[in-house]
Chains A and B, each alone.
Chain A
Amino acid sequence: MASVGKIARRTFLIGAAAVAGGVAVGYYYYRKPFANPLETDLGKGEATFNPYVKIAADNTTTIVAPRAEMGQGISTTLAIMVAEELDVGLDQIKVEHGRASYAYYNAAILEEGGPFAFFDESMTAQAVRSGLGVVGKLLALQVTGGSASTRDGFDKMRQAGAAARHLLIAAAAQKLGVAAADLETANGSILHKASGKSLTYGAVAAAAAAIAPPTEVKLKDRADWKLLGKPQKRIDMLAKVTGAPIFGIDVRMPDMLYGTVKMSPRFWAKPVKVDLAKAEKMPGVIKIVPLETNYGHGFGIIAQNTWAAFKAADTIDAQWADPEYPLSSAAILDVLKQALGTKGSAMRDNGDVDTAFADAPREKIVEADYAVPYLAHATMEPMNATARFKDGALDIWCGNQTPTLVRQLCANAVGIEQDKVTVHTTFMGGGFGRRTEMDFSLCAALMAKETGGRPIKVTWTREEDMRHDAYRPAAVGKFQARLGDDGMPVAVDMRIASPSVIASTLRRLFPSISPVGPDKSIVDGAYDQPYTIANYRVSGVAAPVSIPVGFWRSVGSSINGFFHEGFMDEIATAGKIDPVELRKKLMAAYPAAVKVVEKVAAMAKWGEPLPAGKAKGVAFTLSFGSWVGEIVQVADTPAGIRIEKVWIAADVGTALDPGIVEAQLISAAIYGLSAAMGQQITFADGMVEQSNFHDFDAMRIFQCPVFEVAILENFHKMGGVGEVGTPPAAPALANAIFALTGKRIRTLPLSTRVAFA
């Protein structure tokens, strides 16, 4: 277990430091050493207590939730953390994204060496500051940062609310001439029970803000929570059911121009021959400009409206240089398989795997080769950004997961200082990792240099979006197990090859930095699972294919959940052991995992006989600190295989909003099932073959199973929720199809081998 222990400590280091850091330094930052950014634009009668809270004389309370909302409900959950300690109801508050202050605040934490800024700013700093180990650090920050908003905010946000409440009580005590200890708070008011006198927060806000903040605040015990731990109404729901203009694509400004891009369909390739004349003459087209970014080359079309820009882009006749990577999916697969033949880096190596296999009798060996394709994110809102470059200053409006990086890279691109760039982060019509990229922002920034100061909204077509992603990488895996006489595995050897997400990301964002060391994301979800096997090795190999790859919901675990759990099912079958029993035995050292497996099995009535033509499959993945088991039930129907029901049990440690947690688990499972059923990005002639939802579809409502979810809180540390439902979905489905049909499908998407109803 030595190496698992080591890995576990390393993996948790960032998370643990973040929590500790929040407790130790969190409150300090609300006042010192940096100015509270809310102070610079307070409205009349408004008072602010820290970067997260301001209260007006009329008792209007504004909470800043400094994270981008892409559907995961984070703006609601962060606001609840403050509201809980401030003693205000959710119907009494306004929640803002916290634009300028948001970027500033994260930079501030970083300068102090704070352990847990948003990953973007940390990525920059880490890259500059640290030579060796940069890859591992970047990756850890991305993975933890990408799924840990609630963990990061849990102490900071509650302390912000508690500190403001403390000051309001102190001011009320002065005003009423009573002891602070005799005052109570509820629903934005302060009550002196003995006299029956009460004051609103607004009535004492100005006086309270003038009092020196406390050095220490006491947070509520969990037993006293009124909002946290219970399902709340999302603060963004009304806007989203009324069609309010909240997304990047909805930005409208006086005198605004419209545009789109046509980038090389071969990544990194330059145009060798182009005729713009016909496109330039089309009605509504103002100008076509060349675009060169770290993401590739192409053209920006500036027009009077989006439709004119789309039509012109379609008319551009260009030939592009040959790509630097293999032309076809088959040739790319060859490169991956070649990489699989090399040794790679063992991220887990228990016992002595080579010796364990050396004398293994043939009939005790289980072997399998697995493969998964490239995948697009395909957010519902296509990539877009609006930019205005006027009087030497750049403003960018877009949904993005990384505002400080947007600021930095756009400043570089247009050749101005970062302090001349303002990033306005909007709601996102889906993120899933796609909006960590800079391409849409960079294109808009460059095009804004060509419009004489007029703002321009640059919207990509769906086709452009589908063909210019930072894709979930393709991967191949070679798996081998030796079974003991009892059917249980005594040795398992897993080798996985995939293009490196971190190397690809560095090329796009910081091309001057060379990746150092192995990319852990290649084996995430395989090397870090709570199984005990005497001889257990998981190795990763970075395959040299330079098609852009990036962070796709659950990253490496989206690949390795399928590989690992598909192979575990094969071991169970070969060893004639029930797959649930196999897992419980192998996970015995991890009680949280066993409880999850037991729970999901009980919910699904695992083991009870099913009618003919129905079957179930199970899978489990620990990712982003949460332990998730899923069981999928499929049925054979005349129209094909139907996914009837999915049971999910997830131990997230602490569920701050069980309603949002459940919605995220279902969402992530559907995301994983969609990919497993039918999605793949393939290449021909160096270009992506798919273009739109007709050839890269996702689950539809008529395919959607019934879900049953159990949220457990057994583990002592809080886990993430946005991604953790994805990894077990594909293997649970594939294992169910094996149980139904006897077909062991080891290559995704499953639709290449079976039809779905």
Chain B
Amino acid sequence: MSNAGTQIDQPPLSFENAPESDSELRKRLAIETIITQSIDKRISLDVLIKFSLSSHGLVNDNIRRVLWPQLAGVDVNNLQPAPSLDALQNHPEYNQVVLDVNRSLKRFPPGIPYEQRIALQDQLTVLILRVIKKYPNLRYYQGYHDVAVTFLLVAGEEVAYAIMEQLSTTHFSECMQETMEATQRRLMFIWPVVKFENPELYTFLQKSTVGTLFALPWYLTWFGHSLNSYKSVVRLYDYFLASPIYTPIFVTAAILLYRSNEILKEDCDMASVHCLLSRLPEDLPFEELLKTSSTLFNKYSLTVIEKDVDEMIRNENEQRKAEEKRILERRKKTSRPVTASKSLGLIQWLPNVLTSKSVLVTTAVSIVVGVCAYYYKNQYLAAGIS
């Protein structure tokens, strides 16, 4: 951390001075004892993962500063010094990165001295541009800066760079592809989990056509963009650093399942449900949710989920094609005289009504009519007309 150390005196930043609970204290002391007894502050990966996953995670930022690099597989004795901002100003993504970094004030502790914040924002810009300059196949996305700032504030610019380099080539590499298509498909992984766990909720969410965009900022930033509590953000980062690559999907599913009662009471339309879901309640019990997430991860194999998602995508594509066809046919029909199409419809239905299975058919017809009515209602809703 040569640059950070020489340029500005950087005290540890803390957002909240919530008193340490008894269980936090016990955990902190246990971790600190192990660190003190270790050689070179290195502790075994198994133990480290257990600490990170279990309640309170790594407890505080002093411990995170020591253990996050180890969790991410970064060698703190082999860090490269950061280049200057001037050296990166010609990068094609420079303007976009600066735009987003300038709009990241929320992520800095309130009351941080202006000069210190500006220095940190410059470090953040350098950090991001360094990664995408080194890996030209990786593309910067809005939200990447939310991840980077979390590591910068805890670990300092050089360690944060090494961690971001590591994560960009693993956890976030899919998000950093040329397009967001792979990420959109990945987000659909929440559906099979919700479907297997709570079919009613799944049906409701599908009926609302809410999609997965409410979860996009969560996934792209490990919730850093969407949570107001700094403490919750770093706690989640402990968990994600110690977890397999697609874990945010399971935390998202856990949140949906936890909020199911509230969701089921909402109006079943896209806008209402999107609005409800995209705003995370302040009092989410994250320790409980992370336990659920781990249980879900162990319960469902990614292969099974993926198969289900592929089927969903196939069905959606077929539905879309059928819909397009229906719209085309409807347009053709409306251009014909109305009476003709009406009588044609009657002639088609009459023979069926007269068969011996007429009761069954009548029921089927009313179901079809009901479905059609629902479909058209939705169509109008989708078009913003109700």
Answer whether A and B are interacting partners. Answer: no
